[in-house]
Amino acid sequence: MRAGLGRAEVAQPGHEEAGSGIGFGSVIGPGPERRTFLVRLTAEEFLGWVEPFYKDRGLKLSWSRVDRDCDIKRVTLSFQRSRGRIDLAAVLSIARSWGMNPLDELATIPRFSTITRYKGLPEDNEVLAAMDQGYVLQELAVRALDKKHSTIRQPWDDPPYRFYGWFAYASQAEGGAYAEPIVRALGLNKNSVSQRIQGRTAIGDDEIIVMAEAVGLNPVLGLVLNGSITPEEAGYSPQLREVVLRRAETSELVNLTRFSLGIIQKDIAEKAAAAEAIRTLK
């Protein structure tokens, strides 16, 4: 498992902190389904980044300017600041609006100073597990039938099973054990974690970093798969997936295909069972 990026201490008055966590590690919030704010910025951290950011550009900090540069709605950002829980998307979008690399700016915040170590080339098995498995089948066909290689144009954050493959296959956990460290790190129940991994619930930027760290995966790749940063911002070449696919061992591609077919088969069976239940109720 890769080293963690640091531990967030953002507990709010009246909220109980629970769990040791992995990577960023703090779990905040009341109730049995405790929401996580593991890597969200405190008001002090955000101010400590945003004020010098504008000062370096010869500008005095103006919240109206911040609102214009940020993709987050003004009322939402104001609420987050008042709660001391600013979404990482604020930093990413402001940096991007000024033509700066979002990851480089995130790394100027002390708690995230090591995030750039994950830029560049992710592990091949992570890239393979997260891509659309149709391309894996095409590659096998190319090798078996001497067909022409295809170009991958699909966005990184488009394959429907990308998180399932990434977490379950690339983490190399046996029998679904990948979910347990994520459950502990996020402080959510297993069903909530499964909903995120299966793409049925959106994953926050803070959550994807913690989830990746919990099972030793690349958090920058997680941000790319989540659509939070672009492959170019992560330092990926346009041909990265094609290169990884073509240099993979055939046995690896076959194993990945078997795994992916299992996911699809399970998904179809669950949908059929749900449809049958609805018909029975009617």
Give the model confidence (pLDDT) of 141-178 as tens digits: 999 988 777 788 899 999 888 998 899 888 876 556 78
Q: How many Å apart are CA 195 and CA 4, to the nearest integer? A: 24
Q: How many secondary structure helices (H) and strands (E) does the chain include?
A: 14, 0
pLDDT of residue 105 exceeding 80, the answer is: yes
Torsion of CA 61, 204, 128, 141, to 10 degrees: -110
In the chain, % of residues over pLDDT 70: 80
Distance of alpha carbon 200 from its chain centroid, rounded?
Answer: 14
pLDDT of residue 59 exceeding 70, the answer is: yes
Q: How many Å apart are CA 152 and CA 144, to the nearest integer? A: 19
pLDDT of residue 276 exceeding 70, the answer is: no
Q: Which residue, among 87, 57, 61, has the nearest Cα to 203 in the 3D structure?
A: 87
End-to-end, the C-alpha distance of the chain in Å comes to 49
Query: CB of 34 within 8 A of CB of 43?
Result: no
192: how many CB neighbours lie within 10 A of its CB? 15
**Interacting residues of 126 by C-beta distance below 8 A, sequence separation 6+:** 166, 170, 217, 218, 221
pLDDT of residue 52 exceeding 50, the answer is: yes
The one-letter code for the residue type at 54 is Y
Q: What is the pLDDT of residue 18?
A: 32
Q: How many Å apart are CA 200 and CA 160, to the nearest integer? A: 10
Query: CB of 90 within 8 A of CB of 46?
Result: yes
pLDDT of residue 37 exceeding 60, the answer is: no
Q: What is the pLDDT of residue 169?
A: 87
Q: What is the pLDDT of residue 115?
A: 85
Q: What pTM did the predictor assign?
A: 0.79
Work out the mean pLDDT of the chain and round it to a whole number.
80
